[in-house]
Amino acid sequence: MIKQRVQDALNEQINAEIYSSYMYYSMAAWFDSISLEGFAHWLRVQALEELTHVQKITGYLTERGGRAVMKAVDGPPTDWQSPLACFEEVYAHECKVTELINNLMDVALEERDHATVSFLKWFVDEQIEEESNTDTAVQKLKLVEGNKGGLFMLDREMDARTFVMPPELVGVF
């Protein structure tokens, strides 16, 4: 049986992951509205990844005899000044999620919940990739700032991203 403090912390993370997905869908809609469909596609893939994180956590809670509890999700922003400003927000958000995961790990360690520590290792490693990918996008947008041709080439590159369903979730969605 999972300890209540750990269950509560995992449920807060579920809420944060749902918000992340909601925010990325909002960003994708904004990019669609300015005809940068590649960026929109990239963000929709990111939104789907966040939903797989939700599924991983809810499944884990169930396996441990706990319960996932859905909470209200705040509305995300809907407008950005530029593609660069939008992706700077994506990067800052991923850094915040890293902090949330680290805090969640601290709770698991304090509660001596080794199973949850083991489970969270995947999320710790995932956040390294998330921060790196979003920082790369920010750096590329800085390089092409003011160059519309470069922006359109980058948009095409962003459109090549594919969503890969985690093997353990095949058949769940």
Q: Where are the domains of the chain?
A: 4-165
Asked if residue 170 has pLDDT above 90, the reply is no
Total-model pTM: 0.94
Q: What is the rounded CA–CA span in Å between residue 143 and residue 166?
A: 33
- Report which of 171, 167, 170, 144 is spatially closest to residue 157, judged by C-alpha positions: 144
In this structure, what token pair is assigned to residue 85? 């400003």
Asked if residue 173 has pLDDT above 70, the reply is no
pLDDT of residue 164: 83
Per-residue pLDDT, averaged over 99-113, amounts to: 98
Contact 31, 86 (CB under 8 A): yes
pLDDT band (50, 70, 90) for residue 172 = low
The CATH number, out of the four listed (1.10.3470.10, 1.20.1270.360, 1.20.1260.10, 3.40.50.300), of the domain defined by the range 4-165 = 1.20.1260.10
Average model confidence (pLDDT) across the chain: 96
Q: What is the rounded CA–CA span in Å between residue 160 and residue 163?
A: 10
Asked if residue 74 has pLDDT above 70, the reply is yes
